[in-house]
Amino acid sequence: MNVTSVDFSMDALPVRQSSAVSIGRIKPELYKQKSVDSENGAKEPVETCGKLSFALSYDYEEQALVVRILKALDLPAKDFTGTSDPYVKIYLLPERKKKFQTRVHRKTLNPMFDETFRFPVEYSELCNRKLHFSVYDFDRFTSHDMIGEVVVDNLFELSDLSREAVVWKDILAATTESVDLGEIMYSLCYLPTAGRMTLTVIKCRNLKAMDITGYSDPYVKVSLICDGRRLKKRKTTTKKNTLNPVYNEAIIFDIPPENVEQVSLSIMVMDYDRVGHNEVIGVCRAGPDAEGLGRDHWNEMLAYPRKPITHWHALCEWPGRASSFESQGSCPSPKPPQTP
């Protein structure tokens, strides 16, 4: 699809781009947790935020660690109503690309999850792995609040995993983990002779859940920016009830070679809402004024014309509002060079 219309919004966009944050830095001092049943407390007081119960076992036939999240007790209230909307995210460290999360439970401090997840891993590798549980309070309109975390750094201290073992752990307060908004993979390809740039939205992974079901209805909106103003925009189709959508959709912009240093791209992953406003899940930028990988990806595209260059990009928080994208306006196209 060749984008030629220029009657789009002229809203000023903030060019400041948050740098990619580390997802869930694990402090070694937080590994030392005591069981709920343990009577000998730690010498140094550690703030706790309730308790988490889960069960562990190992499936020898499928070579998978089976984790069943049972329930949580005595969670802190995060909402003004005196309750929370809790859910749990789980990783098998050190790998963070594969994660699971439970459904969201509305208005409760004692959620009953009873959900089972399987991590493919060889039994001999379990001694080198750590289980990381992050407990969150779901918020539809702002960032999800992190309630606390549980880290199990020695699985065989709990059980030999030959049969299911139920475990209780204190949830330790944690403030260092930023909300994981997910990642987007896209490719950039520029044809100088045609003055045409193709951005192919390939897929996203581990997106932030925006719906109470624990999923989102994501689509991707791409805007061509010049001097902080939106020239053109296009969007992909919407994928229903998923945090890992696959698109493989191409978006084309006409950009003459003399204007390629004047423009940049704003890539926004949105959650479609049939009733209210569509909400921003996360954003990233690509262009000469972007930071980090966004600038490097753009420069690599220019260095290798006619070749699609593909990268994963971490999504960052968007300081504006999704509804601002719907306002009307226009902006002139980049000026062509003067003829001698």
Q: Residue 143: which pLDDT band, with cuts at 50, 70 and 90?
A: low
Q: What b/e string do you get for 19-39 counting C-beta neighbours within 10 Å, with b at 16 or more? A: ebeebbebeeebeebeeeeee
pLDDT at 68 over 90: yes
Across residues 297-310, what is the average pLDDT?
95
| Percent of the chain scoring above 70 in pLDDT | 75
Q: What is residue 258's three-state secondary structure?
A: helix
Token pair in block for residue 200: 């192919």
Average pLDDT, the chain: 79
- In 3D, which of 269, 180, 183 has the Cα closest to residue 218? 269
Q: Give the amino acid at 128.
A: N
- The domains located in the chain, with CATH, are 48-173 (2.60.40.150), 182-315 (2.60.40.150)
Residue 214 above 60 pLDDT? yes
Q: Is the confidence at residue 87, as pLDDT, over 80?
A: yes
pLDDT given at position 97: 58
Q: In the prediction, which pLDDT does 66 show?
A: 93
For residues 248 and 181, the model is more confident at: 248
- The string of pLDDT tens digits covering residues 217-247 is 999 999 999 888 899 999 999 999 999 999 9
* Partners of 55 in the β-ladder: 68, 166
Q: Beta strand pairing status for 2-3 and 246-254?
A: parallel
Q: What is the DSSP string of 94-116?
A: TEEEEEEE-----S-SS-EEEEE
